[in-house]
Amino acid sequence: MKVFTVLIVDDVPDNIDVLRNVIAPLQCKMSVATSAERALVILEQLIPDLILLDVMMPGMSGFDLCRLLRQDPRFKDIPIIFVTGRTDDISQGFAAGGNDYITKPINADEVVARVQHHQERHALLQQLRNLNNDLEERVRLRTAELVAVNKQLREEINERRYMQDRLKYLADHDFVSRTHNRTALESYVVELISQSSDSFTSAYYFSIDLARFRVVNESCGLIAGDELLSEAAELISLVAGRAAFVARLSGDSFALVYPSPELATIRTIAEQLHREFEHFTFTWDERQFDVGATIAVVEIDESITSFDQVLMMADEAMYDAKRSGGQVVRFFTDMQTESSRQPIRQNWALRLIDALKYDHFRVYFQQICPLDSAQSELRLEALVRLYAPEQDKILFPDTFLFAAERYQLIADIDRWMIRQVCQFLQQHPNIKRQIGYVALNLSATTLRDQHLVAYIRDTLEQFQIPSRMLCFEVTETEQIIHVSKTSSILEQIQQLGCSIAIDDFGSGYSSFSYLRDFPFDHIKIDGMFAREVEHSEASLAMVQSILDVAAKLDKPCVVEFVENEALAQRFKSMGIAWGQGYHFHKPEPLTEANLERCLTRISSCTSDQ
């Protein structure tokens, strides 16, 4: 029998050594690659039975390698297990074509359990192939003896049928919870929504998130976590009954599909599930853990067109439930009828995807004005807005950016803004000559994109825009400050010739050391202090401290939310160079006419001097 072969792909040799030592007792043949590119070379010579794939690697990431392999017929059926330390990577891994995941730091029991699962599957497949070949040869040679060996053949056919059934079970089920897996769930939902209109029957999709799975898993170990999942799956199946389709979606998330048009029945099941989990206690090593659950329910009616749409709606309902405190039942239809939530309950994932596809976003701008001298050039900040065609109105960022971040579309919006601003400047050369720079916001997610710098460089070259004309504003958040690659990416952007500003400084996780350690060219003082500086000694002292440090670092400051002349004069007397706010200019669409008016005002003020 062919030895089970495992390919380990990780750019950290220590991680490779750990994985090799853990699975060594399983008698696997192991090959290793320290990069995705090296893995591709190895795969031309060796087709493994299992790939353990690290997510974050220099050059090509694990996700990119997985997608590439799934496009090649030779590798499309090879099981791929992602090795990651971030829970955010799990859903991306399944979307890229992964079969499973292992969390970092490495847990030996977890690794062994998953590798053994695929060993069993591989062994069964190999046995099935051998048996099929054997049977075909025997049938050919023993046709004349068919009567004599008929009983033996029946036994062998039954054995083959058992193996086929077992393989199908392994392909459609989660081996931990013994419920269906995500693949089987998707097939079931697709079959439901593919019903003809004449025979269509509504069903309801339940998303069930366990509340304290991570506490059990991390404090008692993987075996305890698996036992909790098994008991939770059994509880869900008992409450829902035989008519329900139960699946483990990922991690501590289960899904339940119940084919019934009766909303009252569904509400009864949801409430009973909630009560059962509210009173459910998991016991391990004489310790007891209360395990609650948050439940989101979505109706699968004739308006549903895809499995992804169901997941997005359930995710939105789940997010709303957890914002309300968690461990409750939330129906998506109930959210739609709440007038207070009406502006944001419109399937933001699909709306934002359509907005990017059909250019529903709009670029607005606001001037950045000098406080201590006449303005000789126009500086401005580009601001994103969203046009809602069904309402025929413009939506502000606080309405949709939360969804853009949750559905990982914020980086696409940031790229759209960069391209739109550069294209506008190219199309209006007379205005471009009079603009000092345009400030654009970059999110923490965008700064994790390893291709960001190349995109900025290529866009500047395509539209022939001098790099000095772009200033990228980065809000000081914990996600940015604690990402080790952030400083390097900002330095690369500076090397292109663009400038960097730290936005809303003083509002979040700031430390003055960040001004020294990160390559910022400008500091934008958070508008919260601007509003309170006349009434709060603490805010005044905070602003003065920022100014003192900025002066020693030779970094000019911009103060936000300057709303009247008194504030403007106050900040001018403190030595702040630039101001931004309604006192100077209210945001308006980025058009040639609007910019011409601003330039005319600047010219008029300069001549008056």
What domain count does the chain have? 3
For residue 221, pLDDT over 90 is answered with: no
**pLDDT (average), residues 37-59:** 91
Task: Give the whole-angstrom CA distance, residue 588 versus residue 423.
Answer: 18
Q: What is the C-alpha radius of gyration for the chain, rounded to an integer number of angstroms?
A: 30
- My answer on whether 2 and 78 are in the same domain is yes
**pLDDT (average), residues 466-474:** 94
8 A C-beta contact, residue 129 and residue 163: no
**pLDDT (average), residues 40-56:** 91
- The residue type found at 3 is V
Give the single-character DSSP code of 581: S
**pLDDT (average), residues 478-486:** 56
Give residue 518's pLDDT: 73
- My answer on whether 330 and 379 are in the same domain is no
Give residue 67's pLDDT: 92
- My answer on whether 108 and 217 are in the same domain is no
- My answer on whether 21 and 156 are in the same domain is yes
Per-residue burial over 572-596, b = 16 or more CB atoms within 10 Å of its CB, e = otherwise: beeebbbbbbebbbebbebeeeebe
For residue 509, pLDDT over 50 is answered with: no
* Count of CB atoms situated within 10 Å of the CB of 408: 13
User: 3-state SS of the chain: helix, strand, coil percent to 5?
Assistant: 50, 20, 30
Give the pLDDT band (50/70/90) at residue 384.
Answer: very high
8 A C-beta contact, residue 372 and residue 347: no
- Give the range of the structural domain holding residue 522, as residue numbers without chain letter: 348-591
For residue 226, pLDDT over 90 is answered with: no
- My answer on whether 375 and 492 are in the same domain is yes
- My answer on whether 355 and 328 are in the same domain is no
For residue 203, pLDDT over 80 is answered with: yes
Residue 605 inside a domain? The answer is: no
Q: Which residues contact 68 (CB under 8 A, 6 or more apart)?
A: 40, 60
For residue 209, pLDDT over 50 is answered with: yes
- My answer on whether 7 and 73 are in the same domain is yes
Give residue 334's pLDDT: 76
Stretch among 30-39, 84-93, 220-229, 447-456 having the lowest mean pLDDT: 84-93
- Looking up residue 429, the CATH number of its domain turns out to be 3.20.20.450
- My answer on whether 459 and 472 are in the same domain is yes
For 93-130, write each residue's pLDDT tens digit. Answer: 888 888 888 888 888 888 888 888 888 888 888 888 88
For residue 545, pLDDT over 60 is answered with: yes
Give residue 421's pLDDT: 96
- My answer on whether 321 and 430 are in the same domain is no
Give residue 404's pLDDT: 84
The structure tokens 């669409």 sit at: 589
- The residue type found at 378 is L
What angle in degrees, to the nearest 10, is found between the helix axes of 410-427 and 397-406? Answer: 120
* 595 phi and psi angles, rounded to 5 deg: -70, -35
8 A C-beta contact, residue 73 and residue 43: no
Residue 71, Cβ density class (10 Å: 0-12 exposed, 13-18 middle, ≥19 buried): exposed
- The residue type found at 42 is I
**pLDDT (average), residues 386-397:** 89
**pLDDT (average), residues 539-545:** 83
Encoded tokens for 196: 């003809």
More confident residue, 374 or 134: 134
For residue 507, pLDDT over 80 is answered with: no
8 A C-beta contact, residue 47 and residue 78: yes
**Average pLDDT in the chain:** 84
- Looking up residue 228, the CATH number of its domain turns out to be 3.30.70.270
Give residue 427's pLDDT: 95
Stretch among 110-124, 130-144, 434-448, 590-604 having the lowest mean pLDDT: 130-144
Give residue 516's pLDDT: 66
Stretch among 53-62, 70-79, 522-531 having the lowest mean pLDDT: 522-531
Give the pLDDT band (50/70/90) at residue 340.
Answer: very low
- My answer on whether 53 and 72 are in the same domain is yes
Give the pLDDT band (50/70/90) at residue 484.
Answer: low
For residue 407, pLDDT over 80 is answered with: no
For residue 344, pLDDT over 50 is answered with: no
Q: How many residues does the chain have?
A: 609
For residue 159, pLDDT over 80 is answered with: no
For residue 302, pLDDT over 70 is answered with: yes
8 A C-beta contact, residue 123 and residue 1: yes
Q: Comparing C-alpha atoms, which of 420, 415, 526 is closest to residue 477? A: 526
Residue 608 inside a domain? The answer is: no
